[in-house]
Chains A and B, each alone.
Chain A
Amino acid sequence: MTLILTPNIPDPDGFYDELLALHDGLSKEESDALNARLILVLGNHIGDRDVLRQAFEAAKPPPEDG
């Protein structure tokens, strides 16, 4: 399977709003921990190791511009 990198979430603004609302009132440490849990939950849902590896690639820091 190929990692989906085209728009795939209906109501993207609503999704973004909900995602950030999760962090309301959290400290930096709590937010980091929430993000880690969230990645693990989503990773489990995806399940496919190959797709997950493609996601790791997509999320790596972009190369520095020359």
Chain B
Amino acid sequence: MGYDLAFRLYPYAPVAAQGMAAQRHPVVIVGGGPIGMATALDLGRKGTPVLVLDDHEGVGQGSRAICFAKRTLEIADRLGTGGAMVDKGVVWNVGKVFHGDNKLFEFNLQPEDGHKNPAFINLQQPYFEKFLVEEIRRAQAEGAPIEIRGKHAVTDVVAEDDFARLTVVTPDGPYQIEADWLIACDGARSPVRTAMGLSFDGRVFEDNFLIADVKMTADFPTERWFWFEPPFKNAGQSALLHKQPDDIWRIDFQLGWDIDREAELDPVRICERVDAMLGQGVDYELEWTSIYTFQCRRMEAFRHGRVLFAGDSAHQVSPFGARGANSGIQDADNLAWKLDLVVKGLAPEALLDSYSSERAHGADENILNSTRATDFLTPKSEISKVFRNAVLELARDHAFARPLVNSGRLSLPCVYDGLPLNGPDAFEGPARTRVGAPCVDAPLDQGFLLDRLPGAFTLLTINADMPAPDAVDGVALNRLALSTDAHDPSGALRERYLGAAQSAVYLIRPDQHVAARWKAADAGAVGAAMRTALGKEPPA
């Protein structure tokens, strides 16, 4: 599908391979969106050669995903783009919920103190993609083996037992490529998935949403405003107003199922709606408009032999809750270290099955949450609507009903509870840092904890001294020895990692998820847990 570019970042250039027999690459990524680029950056920084094939020459226009959650910013920080995102993005904390003319309540997402990153920022997707490509250029300059080929469109894939064969079409004609490993980051309509004849099942929601991104210098506050049954003319069943950088505001109208798409996209008609919402005398320009419908669905498995699926190609959710791009980035975070170790022969291929099971677990959670939000926004029966409106009426006066109001549960990182890479959870520590959870940030005497967990296995000891190996089976194990006396001026490290215990040992995966924890451990226990986290042996 063709689209206009926001940033032309990787213009087409012919490569020598176009005139040669199929060249074999260790890793090929199809699709240069945020998930593909993040995965390429992570792999390349670790030294694994990676080739990105994109069917365009840069980043497509349109704000698209605009809401990036703290976990995404933490992962982006590890990749080197977090600072640029937070600098450019709009930080917001306050949300207000209206029912018709009435304000029902407001909420504040302000996280507790002691996190480097805010709970959410709003940022147009093209900026995120641009920052990733800029970071890839820096990594390339430092020798990271990453190659991006623009306007090299993958049109066919044949999956063999131990590699994939790709047909790539360019302005100079087609050529063949072979990939030891292929990662399909090619979006919800994934041509790779289609070429392989794999199914993508789920639920279709019968609704249309109109996005109108407008540019204006109005002094609305930097808050998320959401209306059920909006009071302004022709606004549909719900509406949203949300600020982005560059004086752009996201306006969203829920139009229902039976609409005339062409007519609704007429700028005159869109402006009538926007005028009714913003009131008289507000100057604005339409920046980007789109009508979308959506589905909640996922592939049964995200690994098919040597082909891996990440982001929207593997799972698709409704936009309520900002769980699309945010979950895709967690896919990239989960996949890159595993594939890197497999390519280097340091972990068995079976480790990649855990990518599928962990991220399918995440996708199910996201689908459940976004399905529930959608059912609340679009009650599926008369009685659902009766209950929905009862909740809204009660929420105005009674706090108990407010947690039931669902205009999207904002994305939180997934905890890999009960999954095969988990080692022992050997003390009654805080629940939020249990085995399977992503590490919670904490301020240290200098900087933040997550900045000290840079994409490799780390053994974090708190008030515990122990001899530990530098590596297990050839996989490096970093050491981070902290004490609450010296490194925890705020007490957050104790609260988040020790609870009532006096000491703790945490084995932390390269994606900053907790692999195992103990009050005290010896090298044998650490080695066994690390082999479990590498997919080599079942937990003791």
- What band does the interface of chain B fall in when counting residues whose beta carbon is under 8 Å from A? 20 to 34
Is A28 on the interface with B (CB-CB < 8 A)?
A: yes
User: Assuming A13-B409, A62-B393, A65-B102, is B383 touching A6 (CB within 8 A)?
Assistant: no
Residue of A nearest to B399 (CB): A6
Is A4 on the interface with B (CB-CB < 8 A)?
A: yes
Is B108 on the interface with A (CB-CB < 8 A)?
A: no
A19 to chain B, nearest CB (A): 7
- Contact partner, A5, options B396, B398, B404, Cβ 8 Å: B398
Please determine whether A20 and B375 come into contact, CB atoms closer than 8 angstroms. Answer: yes
Is B292 on the interface with A (CB-CB < 8 A)?
A: no
Q: Which of B371-414 contact A (CB under 8 A)?
A: 372, 375-376, 381-384, 387, 391, 393-394, 396-400, 402-404, 406, 409
Q: Which of A28-66 contact B (CB under 8 A)?
A: 28, 31, 58-59, 61-62, 65
Chain B residues with CB under 8 A of A15 = 404
A residues contacting the other copy or chain, number (CB 8 A): 23
Contacts across chains A and B counted by CB atoms under 8 Å: 53
Residue of B nearest to A58 (CB): B398
Please determine whether B403 and A23 come into contact, CB atoms closer than 8 angstroms. Answer: no
Is B113 on the interface with A (CB-CB < 8 A)?
A: no
Please determine whether B369 and A5 come into contact, CB atoms closer than 8 angstroms. Answer: no
Please determine whether B384 and A4 come into contact, CB atoms closer than 8 angstroms. Answer: no
- Contact partner, A26, options B376, B383, B399, Cβ 8 Å: B383
User: Assuming A62-B396, A65-B101, is B404 touching A16 (CB within 8 A)?
Assistant: yes
- Contact partner, A6, options B391, B400, B409, Cβ 8 Å: B400
Residue of A nearest to B384 (CB): A20
Chain B residues with CB under 8 A of A5 = 398-400
Residue of A nearest to B373 (CB): A13
Chain B residues with CB under 8 A of A4 = 400
Chain B residues with CB under 8 A of A6 = 399-400
Q: How far is the CA of A9 from the CA of B400 in the complex (A)?
A: 8
Please determine whether B394 and A58 come into contact, CB atoms closer than 8 angstroms. Answer: yes
B378 to chain A, nearest CB (A): 13
Please determine whether A7 and B394 come into contact, CB atoms closer than 8 angstroms. Answer: no
Chain B residues with CB under 8 A of A23 = 381, 383-384
Where the two chains meet, the residues of B that have a C-beta atom closer than 8 Å to any C-beta of A are: 101-102, 369, 372, 375-376, 381-384, 387, 391, 393-394, 396-400, 402-404, 406, 409
Q: Known A-B contacts: A20-B383, A20-B387. Give 13 more (CB < 8 A).
A: A5-B398, A6-B399, A8-B400, A13-B409, A16-B406, A17-B372, A17-B375, A20-B375, A23-B383, A26-B383, A58-B394, A62-B396, A65-B101
Where the two chains meet, the residues of A that have a C-beta atom closer than 8 Å to any C-beta of B are: 4-9, 12-13, 15-17, 19-20, 23-24, 26, 28, 31, 58-59, 61-62, 65
Can you name 25 A-B pairs with beta carbons within 8 Å? A4-B400, A7-B400, A9-B400, A12-B403, A12-B404, A13-B369, A13-B406, A13-B409, A15-B404, A16-B376, A16-B387, A17-B372, A17-B375, A19-B387, A20-B383, A20-B384, A23-B384, A24-B381, A31-B383, A58-B397, A58-B398, A59-B394, A62-B393, A62-B396, A65-B102
Q: 8 closest Cβ contacts across the A-B interface? A: A12-B403, A31-B383, A5-B398, A23-B383, A6-B399, A7-B403, A13-B372, A12-B404
